[in-house]
Amino acid sequence: MSKHARLIPLVALVCLPSVSSGQRPAREMLLGTWRLVEHWNKDSAGAVTHQYGPQPIGLFVHDATNHFSVQIMRTPPARVVPAPTDSAGVRQFIEGYYAAFGTFTVDTAKGESVYHVEASTVPGLIGSDARLPFRVSNDSLIIGDNRTWRRVWLRVH
């Protein structure tokens, strides 16, 4: 799995944070709870794919102690847990949910949030630093490169 493919679930931010005089520091702009409203990737041919379905649900929390927690779930969700012998069904069930937590910092010079992943449903992310480009626009947190992947989160509080 490529480095970017492993980072794709970790939600998502686009462009540089707009931090100029008179605005709050980028780290403070991230604080709060965010609800997922958009999540897509583009394949090498440019086709848009929705890893968690066309209308996934999720929450992304950044707190004042620099901890984060993120959860994303496919919609519609699986209604029945597949039998352990149904390997394709089990895989689809597991791939329909993503979660991670840890701490975060902001690299203002690079316009990135850096997530120090302590635990994740993607084992390859555990112990890594996921660097994600982001910007905050009004009550939207936008993560991704906006060309090959994008996540949009709306502020809950």
Each residue's pLDDT expressed in tens, for the chain with a length of 157 residues: 444 444 444 433 333 344 333 467 888 999 999 999 999 999 999 999 999 998 999 999 999 999 999 999 998 777 677 777 777 777 777 788 999 999 999 999 999 999 999 999 999 999 999 999 999 999 999 999 999 999 999 999 6
| 1.10.580.10, 1.10.10.10, 3.40.47.10, 2.40.128.280: CATH of 3-155 | 2.40.128.280
77, 99, 140, 149 from 70: Cα distances, Å: 17, 5, 16, 17
Terminal Cα-to-Cα distance of the chain (whole angstroms) = 35
Domain ranges of the chain: 3-155
Phi and psi of 38, rounded to 5°? Answer: -155, 135
Give the C-alpha separation, 108 to 101, whole Å: 21
